[in-house]
Amino acid sequence: MLSRLVLRAAPAALRALPPPPLPVGVLHATRQLHTTQQSLAPLPPLPEKGGEVRHGLIPEEFFQFLYPKTGVTGPYMLGTGLVLYLLSKEIYVINHETVAAACILSVIIYGVKRFGADVAAFADKLNEEKMAKALEVKNEAISSLQAAIDEEKKEQWRVEGRTYLFDAKRNNVAMLLEANYRERLMMVYNEVKKRLDYQVAMQTLKRQKEQDHMIQWVEKNVVQSITPQQQKESIAKCIMDLKALSKGAHAAL
C-alpha cells in the first residue's frame, strides 16, 4: 500500500521538479539544420522537365548508381531477381486482385500514353494565356506611365510659354494707349483747322456776294443812265461802224 502511494506520488513529484536544463548541444543542433538562407526570393526558375525516369517509375539515378558495379544489366537483374523471389516465396500471393490490378494498370497506362501529351499541351495553353494576360497588363501599365511622364514634360514646356502671353498683353495695352493719343492729336488739329477754314470760307463767300451785288448795281445804274438821246446817237454810230466794217470786209474778200 505504501508502495502504491509512492508510485502514485512519483509522477506528481517528477512533474513538480523543475524541467532539466536542456543540454546546450540540442539548441545548436536545431540551428545547424537550417544551413541555407531561408527566404530565397526570387525563386530560382523551376526546371522545365522533371527528373529522368526509366519505364515511368524508376529514376535514372538508380541505374547510374548501380552502373559502376554491375554494368548496364545490373538493375534489371536485381529487379527480376526480386520479383521472382517475391513470387516463389509467396511473399506476394497471386489472387484475383492481381488480375484486377493488371487490367486497371494497363488501361491507365494506355490512357496516359495516348492522351497524355494533349492534356499537357492544353494545361500549358491555359497557363500561357494567364501569363500573356498578366504580361499585357504589365506592358500596358509601363506604356501608360511613360505616356504620363511625357505628357507632364510637355505641359511643363508649354507653361514656359507664358512670357509670350504677357508680352502680347503689354503690347496690346501700349498700342491702345498710343492709338488713343494719336487720335486725340488728330482731333485737336481737325477742330482748329475746321474753325479757321470756316472763317476763311465765310470771308470768301461774303466778298463774292459783295462783288456780285456791286456788279449788278453798277449795271443797273448804267442801264438807267442811258438817256433816249444817247441811245439814238449810239445806234447811229453803230450803224456807221458796221458799214465801215462791211466795206472793209468786202475789200478784203
Partner 1 sequence: MAGRRAALKAVDWAAFAERVPPNQRAMYNALKTRNDALTARLAALPEKPPAIDWAYYKANVAKAGMVDEFQKKFSALKVPEPVDTQSAKIDAQEQEAAKSTAEYVQASKARIAQYEQQLQKLKNMIPFEQMTFEDLHEAFPETKLDKEKYPYWPHKPIADL
Which residues sit at the interface with partner 1, rule CB under 8 A? 41-46, 131, 134-135, 138, 141-142, 145-146, 148-149, 152-153, 155-162, 164-186, 188-190, 192-193, 195-196, 199-200, 203
CA distance 84 to 98: 15
Q: Which is nearer to partner 1, 15 or 162 (CB)?
A: 162
Q: Which is nearer to partner 1, 120 or 173 (CB)?
A: 173
The pair phi, psi for residue 91, each rounded to 5°, is -75, -35
Q: Answer yes or no: are the C-beta atoms of 231 and 223 closer than 8 Å.
A: no
Q: Which is nearer to partner 1, 187 or 218 (CB)?
A: 187
Q: How far is the CB of 43 from partner 1 (least distance, A)?
A: 6
Q: Which is nearer to partner 1, 35 or 163 (CB)?
A: 163
Q: How far is the CB of 155 from partner 1 (least distance, A)?
A: 6
Q: How far is the CB of 213 from partner 1 (least distance, A)?
A: 18
Q: How far is the CB of 152 from partner 1 (least distance, A)?
A: 5
Q: How far is the CB of 49 from partner 1 (least distance, A)?
A: 15
Q: Which is nearer to partner 1, 55 or 164 (CB)?
A: 164
Q: Is there a cis peptide before residue 18, judged by omega within 30 degrees of 0?
A: no
- What number of CA atoms fall less than 13 Å from residue 128's CA on the CB side? 6
> Of 90, 85, 60, which Cα lies nearest the Cα of 75?
60
CA distance 192 to 196: 6
Q: Which is nearer to partner 1, 157 or 250 (CB)?
A: 157
Q: How far is the CB of 37 from partner 1 (least distance, A)?
A: 16
